[in-house]
């Protein structure tokens, strides 16, 4: 996992081109932590919900970029110290 993920900004969800946006790096780290494949994707959704994202998997982050950025930044703040899925979810729920 990349421990130097940049802060997620609202503009990241509508940006085209350039470097890979930080929220995609966070998503990749969550999927990896969750076990890749379907399990990893389900864990990513669980983590986003625990971080405050109130929408389902069919709602694009650009629908509410402020809330999305806040959720991803909460995950970003606890991700480096999370040893496993349960620890990450507990850290998010405690914040």
For the chain, what percent of residues have pLDDT higher than 90? 83
Q: Could you tell me where the beta strands, DSSP code E, fall in the chain?
A: none
Burial of 82 (0-12, 13-18, 19+ CB in 10 A): buried
Where exactly are the structural domains of the chain? 20-94
Rounded to two decimals, the pTM is 0.93
pLDDT in tens, 72-93: 999 999 999 998 999 999 999 9
pLDDT greater than 70 at residue 15: yes
pLDDT greater than 60 at residue 69: yes
């Amino acid at each position: 996992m990349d421990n130097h993920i940049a802060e997620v900004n609202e503009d990241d969800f509508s940006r085209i081109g350039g470097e890979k946006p930080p929220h995609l790096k966070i998503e990749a780290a969550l999927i990896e932590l969750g076990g890749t494949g379907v399990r990893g994707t389900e864990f990513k959704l669980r983590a986003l919900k625990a971080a405050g994202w109130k929408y389902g998997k069919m709602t694009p982050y650009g629908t509410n970029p402020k809330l999305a950025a806040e959720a991803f930044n909460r995950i970003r703040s606890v991700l480096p110290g999370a040893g496993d899925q349960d620890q990450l979810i507990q850290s998010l729920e405690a914040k």
